[in-house]
């Protein structure tokens, strides 16, 4: 919280209470999930409670942003994430990099689909550059940076690290995707060409790239990629 908002505690906001309320709402049995036509009636009041919590969160965030905007002209010794992100919102974007990348996508589609001119699902296998760009996006920005926590069913050892039974294990795919020993030194750069002649897929067979996890319990969403 200190890194994000510049303070580790603020008695003006009951953030803990809000988090508990949202978590309770998310985990509460919702009749409308099983009887959809009852949804608009909100018989349990869950929708109203969620809207109320969302409104309070928005108000808190607006106050925090306003405070940082008012302090932007002051000399601040320690800057937090909000201080860094606010100037970026008003900073003019340089479209050159985006134009170059978009040009590559368009050229790839034109070359691969010259006979039809339209992209359909059956054509995706021919769009090699698009495939590399999707993989590069997952490498830089994985959907779940730590995947889903797992519990070790038996004692084991991985690369010299002893993992006791019942240990909670989290796989840091974000760090793996930015490891220069795996991806070369330009790990912070969006560079789809790094996948040329590298047989790496998104289905958990290659541990360099695990956006959907691996094994029998991997995310079923991988089937839509």
Binding-site positions for heme: 219
Cβ–Cβ < 8 Å for 203, 143: no
Which residue has 């303070």 as its token pair? 7
Rg (CA), the chain: 23
C-alpha 139, offset from chain centre:
11
Alpha-carbon gap, residue 104 to 157, rounded angstroms: 44
Contact yes or no for 124/143 (Cβ under 8 A): no
Q: Which residues contact 183 (CB under 8 A, 6 or more apart)?
A: 139, 177, 194, 208
What Å distances lie between residue 27 and 20, 24, 64, 109, CA to CA?
11, 5, 28, 44
Annotated binding site: 219
């Amino acid at each position: 919280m200190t890194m994000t908002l510049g303070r580790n505690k603020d008695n003006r906001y009951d953030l803990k209470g809000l988090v508990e309320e949202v978590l309770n709402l998310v985990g509460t049995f919702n009749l409308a999930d099983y009887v959809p036509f009852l949804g608009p009636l909100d018989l349990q009041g869950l929708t109203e409670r969620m809207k109320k919590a969302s409104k309070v969160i928005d108000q808190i965030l607006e106050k925090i942003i306003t405070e940082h905007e008012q302090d932007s002209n002051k000399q601040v010794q320690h800057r937090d994430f909000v201080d860094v992100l606010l100037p970026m919102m008003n900073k003019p974007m340089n479209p050159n990099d985006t134009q170059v990348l978009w040009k590559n996508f368009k050229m790839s589609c034109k070359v691969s689909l010259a006979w039809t001119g339209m992209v359909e699902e059956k054509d995706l296998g021919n769009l090699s550059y698009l495939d590399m760009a999707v993989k590069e996006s997952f490498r830089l920005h994985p959907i779940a940076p730590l995947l889903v926590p797992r519990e070790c069913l038996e004692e084991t050892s991985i690369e010299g690290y002893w993992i006791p039974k019942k240990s909670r294990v989290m796989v840091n795919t974000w760090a793996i995707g930015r490891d220069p020993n795996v991806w070369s030194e330009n790990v912070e750069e969006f560079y789809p060409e790094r996948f040329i002649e590298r047989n790496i897929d998104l289905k958990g067979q290659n541990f360099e790239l695990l956006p959907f996890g691996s094994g029998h319990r991997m995310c079923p969403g991988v089937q839509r990629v």
